[in-house]
Copies of this chain bind each other. A is one copy, B any other.
Amino acid sequence: MSDRYLNFVNSGVGGWVAGALGLPRPAPLQRRAEAGAGIVGPCLLGGSGDGPMAAVLAGLMEASGHGLHAEWSPDARYGALVFDASDCARVQAAKGLYGFFHQAVRSVAEHGRIVVIGTPPELMADAEGEAVQRGLEGVVRSLAKEVRRNIGVHMLYVAPGAEAAAESTLAFLLSPRSAYVSGQSIRVAAPVETGEPGAGHTGRKVLVTGASRGIGEAITCLFASEGAQVTALDVAATADGLCALSEELGVDSLALDITASDAAATLLADARKRGGYDVVIHNAGITRDRTVARMEPAEWDSVMAVNLSAPLAITQTLIEGGGMRRNGRIVAVSSLSGVAGNMGQTNYALSKAAWIGAVRRLASQSASSGLTVNAVAPGFIETRMTAAIPFAIREAGRRMNSMGQGGSPVDVAETIAWLAHPASGGVNGQVVRVCGQSLLGA
């Protein structure tokens, strides 16, 4: 499960060998464990320096103890570059973006962050405005491929008036928590619930499916460490792992097959017992890879049942049965295979692409109930599942992204924790890739 190539080329002898042979030598990502959960470092702000997002950023930076700078200094090293292009409505105005990054891009520290703030293109007054705002995504995705050095680069579209709701997202993007997220375009609108977001995940009732290992285990650990009351669900066959996890973290374990006919009812009863879930994370998933010509009917059926039918039915039962509390969150785990398709995964890709449609619909249906529904789409994440992939394919998957390495389950967990945060009510119906800006897509 560990990336031995990365360990090798970043070791003493290995580094010498890699240098002599000209091998790529990506530095390991800096995550919360190494660098904390806060802002990565001092920030240089360009563009609209006095817009409402500048005030949000100023608040974040003040709380972080790092400086916020409006003037580029040739000797400074910035943790983050933020350019507020939200008032950029003309092609000519985009020149400011060029001027800012032309001057400052080399001043970003390794493991730094770049965020461009824009206005949702469809809210612009005319075609040129929509074009320029949509064009910013092209800049961001190009910059993300250009800067490397584990620097995450993002587009953040904030609807006018929703700036305060964008704070949790900006904080996530500017922190080590987003280490393996890059090249993404994220939108923030008015939050589904306007109440006080309160004390983070503390005390929130969280259901995690597929919790016994891999990404599910990382999600369970992260929420537990943030003080949430987690129900860790997995099938009975994983009872040993689930028990160990439950004892270690003090979370409730629940041995349940989500495809059982009474699973949704069982979960609704559990939810009611707890006064409703605040957060449901549909992480359980299986693969049964085979070309469609060779695929057995049971391989199609089981993937549909676990990855799609069961979580859809559970979601519907919980929402309709009053099993979700207000300002609640539902987060599904989609996949790059769902975005781009993958050889031998017609079944898996259907189930994962389906969640792109499901979160769009559920988000619009459930906003009035104070719920958000989003998905993450992991790329190459180092788990027991990926460790079983043949060497050459595994190496290609690991390296074909802007970070030059695979991600860790904790990277997916961190992204889910941001989406599930009570202050992230302005992020709804979205699919966020956790892939180090994998080259793959559609």
Binding site for B on A (CB under 8 A): 91-92, 94-95, 98-99, 101-102, 105-106, 121-122, 124, 126-128, 130-146, 183, 185, 291-293, 295, 297, 300-301, 304, 308-309, 312, 315-316, 337-358, 360-362, 365, 439-442
Contacts and interface: CB of A to CB of B under 8 A. Distances in A.
26 contacts: A91-B309, A92-B309, A94-B304, A98-B297, A98-B300, A98-B346, A98-B347, A101-B293, A102-B295, A106-B293, A122-B361, A128-B358, A132-B354, A132-B357, A138-B338, A138-B346, A139-B349, A141-B341, A142-B341, A142-B343, A142-B346, A146-B343, A185-B442, A339-B441, A439-B439, A441-B441
Contacts of A362: 127
B292 A101 contact: yes
A183 B342 CA distance: 11
Contacts of A350: 94, 132, 135-136, 138-139
A102 B312 contact: no
Contacts of A94: 304, 350
A356 B134 contact: yes
Contact of A130 (B91, B138, B357): B357
Contacts of A121: 357, 360-361
A357 B146 contact: no
A82 to B, nearest CB: 16
Contacts of A291: 146
Given A91-B309, A144-B341, A130 B361 contact: yes
Nearest to A313: B128
Contacts of A301: 95
Contacts of A308: 91, 131, 135
**From A138, A297, A442, residue with most partner B Cβ within 10 Å:** A138
A35 to B, nearest CB: 25
Nearest to A442: B441
Given A127-B362, A134-B356, A312-B127, A344 B102 contact: no
A183 B131 contact: no
A120 to B, nearest CB: 10
A80 to B, nearest CB: 17
A360 B95 contact: no
Contacts of A300: 95, 98
A399 to B, nearest CB: 13
